[in-house]
Chains A and B, each alone.
Chain A
Amino acid sequence: MTGVAVLVDHDRGTLSGGALEALTAARSLAQALETTVEAVVLGDTALFESHGADLVAACGAYGASVVHRGIGDLLADYGPDAWGAALSSFVEAERPVAVTSVGTDRGAEAMAQLAARADLPLVANCVTVTPAAQNWQITRVQWGGSLLEDVTLEASLPLVTFAHHSVEAEPADNADEPTVRDFEPELGPDAERTLVRDRVTLTEGVTLATASVVVSGGRGVGSADGFAALEELAELLGGRVGCSRAVTNNGWRNHADQVGQTGTRIAPEIYIACGISGAIQHWVGAMGSKNILAINIDPEANMVTKAGYAVIADLHKVVPAVCDEIRRRRDRP
């Protein structure tokens, strides 16, 4: 083949949002290379029986002209070795001009497994990729998005992942029914070493990542108990409580609540940041918010200067007053 191969990220047949981003990004790459987008989907026979039609249709709608279905018993569920081996067996047999995916957990990991197996460079978390005869010109993110790095890539087969959320998934304009081709990857004994053995589901309502209101506290909250007022505000607004790393490090809150580079990236309608200075590693997790209200005693704090709205005062006074005001208006007939 001479197309751009896209590893499609899915969980037992359900596409991840990242998969459609990768297909969308691959279209511009394929256009620059004057070639086609070809999707690679891994699974077992049962998975394709139940989800095959949907997967193929989605890949087609997002611009794949061919869908390569890699079928094997060990591909019933995810495993980094199984996916890495399947992908490298595909690459050896089909010789695509480039392989790409998205920087989700599975996408990033399977691509790194391919890169290690094929002994090829892999440029992770790209935002723009410009192919060239010799050295590809690429811009990628560092520091979880706080810094950009321009690099060149010299490789017999370029491997790149796109940063998750850096491309907006868009269906292709003139999508055709894709051709389906099946292959049975050679997996080898190593593929069994790292299969998912079990799954535990923790039911949760609104997650931090998807909440429309996030009320976060930082070191300025002062203690675990200090979060009671923030909990109350979040509850009144149907939102979730978040925090900074200073808070998790002090053991005031669980790491699951941490917003930032090594925590969760949020995208609420409004982020209410109380007693948080706005270090760059916190900011990259919060910058996807549509609006930011900083409550801080320091008017020079980075969180304040970057926020659209601020109250320059003690959070221990402001947050309860806001709760009271909300209740007062709701009680009004």
Chain B
Amino acid sequence: MRILVCVKRVPSPGSRINVTDDGQQVDSAHLGFTTSPHEECAVEEAVQLIERVTASDSDNNEDHAVVVLTLGPEAAGEQLRYAASVGATGFALVEAEGGLDWDPQRTATAITGAVRSLEADEGPFDLILFGNESADGGNFQVGIRVAHALGRPIVNGIKGIDSRPDGGFVARRETDAGYEVYELDAPCALGVKEGINLPRYPTMKGRLASRKAHIATLDSASAAAAGGQTRVRLHRPPERASTTVVLGDSAAAAPAVVDLLDELGVL
């Protein structure tokens, strides 16, 4: 089974998000970088799907791969190497000029081109995993656009995946009351949500593997035209002004806490 996972490198802000003076980017001068938890879980799910197939059918000598793809600056190699440390086997960096955040149409066009070129070289993917939404942009559409351009079905919001013996996939989507079940024939795509699994931490062996991981650089980005949505500026929403009433600095604050609960009518 061959699975492709698309992840996006994003800054990892702490208690507030600062914006650069030109309003074009999150000020990441003092920040680390990460991927969306949804995408981290997508990588874990791909690795587990293949572990499950090989465990149930040990003499299956089919070709297995978890290829991770990112569109971004060269530094996004860091996110690919992290994926290597938790079990991914192939890595593709689609270099985006300027390193700025691209609009979702342009992003999707570039990723579609990259998938086509990877498949032409190494064979088709049975499954392409996306995050339900990117951590920063939250456009809820890049995966759907890529899947549509490739002529493949996609369902978003997935919190459970099983591979079927005939090559298709059963996918579960959470609702308020439980979950919905979808059945997709391969090749297909799914948008994954955090909670589908508990991602593993890198092992020592994984860390060593990540250092040796070969990252293929693709240039399908240059041909992608800008879409109709253009950033003017980023800004922080007005913050709720609050003064904190300190009820105490020890367990002796308990009566004051219970008075408050009583006042709010929740006792």
Query: Hey, which bits of chain A sit against chain B, CB under 8 A?
Result: 11, 78, 80-81, 103, 105, 108-109, 112-113, 115-117, 120-125, 135, 137, 141-155, 161, 190, 193-202, 207, 209, 212-213, 237-239, 245, 248-249, 251, 254-256, 258, 261-263, 269-270, 277-280, 283, 287, 291, 293-294, 299, 302, 304-313, 317-318, 320-322, 324-326, 329
Contacts and interface: CB of A to CB of B under 8 A. Distances in A.
A213 B266 contact: yes
Contact of A152 (B13, B232, B255): B232
> Which among A324, A325, A329 has the greatest number of chain B C-beta atoms within 10 A?
A325
A308 B246 CA distance: 9
A307 B244 contact: yes
Contact of A194 (B19, B175, B182, B233): B182
A22 to B, nearest CB: 15
Given A117-B148, A194-B155, A258 B257 contact: no
A150 B234 CA distance: 6
Nearest to A193: B153
Given A116-B145, A197-B182, A199-B179, A312 B156 contact: no
B141 A122 contact: yes
B215 interface: no
A262 B253 contact: no
B265 A269 contact: yes
A124 B37 CA distance: 20
Contacts of B205: none
B247 interface: yes
Contact of B229 (A153, A239, A258, A299): A153
B117 interface: no
15 contacts: A149-B231, A149-B232, A154-B230, A194-B155, A196-B181, A199-B178, A213-B266, A245-B37, A258-B194, A263-B194, A279-B15, A293-B247, A306-B244, A308-B244, A318-B251
> Which among A113, A245, A324 has the greatest number of chain B C-beta atoms within 10 A?
A113
B253 to A, nearest CB: 5
B231 to A, nearest CB: 6
Contacts of A249: 198-199
A196 B251 CA distance: 52
Interface in B213-267: 227-237, 240, 242, 244-255, 257-258, 260-261, 264-267
Contacts of B232: 137, 149-152
Contact of B178 (A137, A200, A311): A200
Nearest to A254: B195
B99 interface: no
B185 A116 contact: no
A62 B94 CA distance: 46
A9 B16 CA distance: 33
B97 interface: no
Interface stretch (B53-61, B71-79, B130-138): B130-138
Given A105-B173, A117-B148, A262-B193, A326 B258 contact: yes
A311 B149 contact: no
A321 to B, nearest CB: 4
A254 to B, nearest CB: 8
A244 to B, nearest CB: 12
A31 to B, nearest CB: 23
B180 A199 contact: yes
Contacts of B182: 194-197
Given A202-B178, A306-B240, A311-B247, A325 B198 contact: no
Interface of B: 13-17, 19, 26, 36-38, 103-105, 135-141, 144-145, 147-149, 153-157, 172-173, 175-185, 188, 193-195, 198-199, 227-237, 240, 242, 244-255, 257-258, 260-261, 264-267
B149 A155 contact: no
> Which among A113, A142, A202 has the greatest number of chain B C-beta atoms within 10 A?
A142
B251 A313 contact: yes
Given A148-B236, A309-B247, A325-B257, A261 B135 contact: yes
Given A194-B155, A258-B195, A280-B16, 11 more contacts: A150-B233, A151-B230, A151-B232, A200-B179, A291-B264, A302-B16, A307-B242, A309-B246, A309-B247, A320-B251, A321-B251
A239 B227 CA distance: 46
Contacts of A115: 141, 144-145
B249 A313 contact: yes
B77 to A, nearest CB: 24
Contacts of B227: 121
B181 A125 contact: no
A143 B135 contact: yes
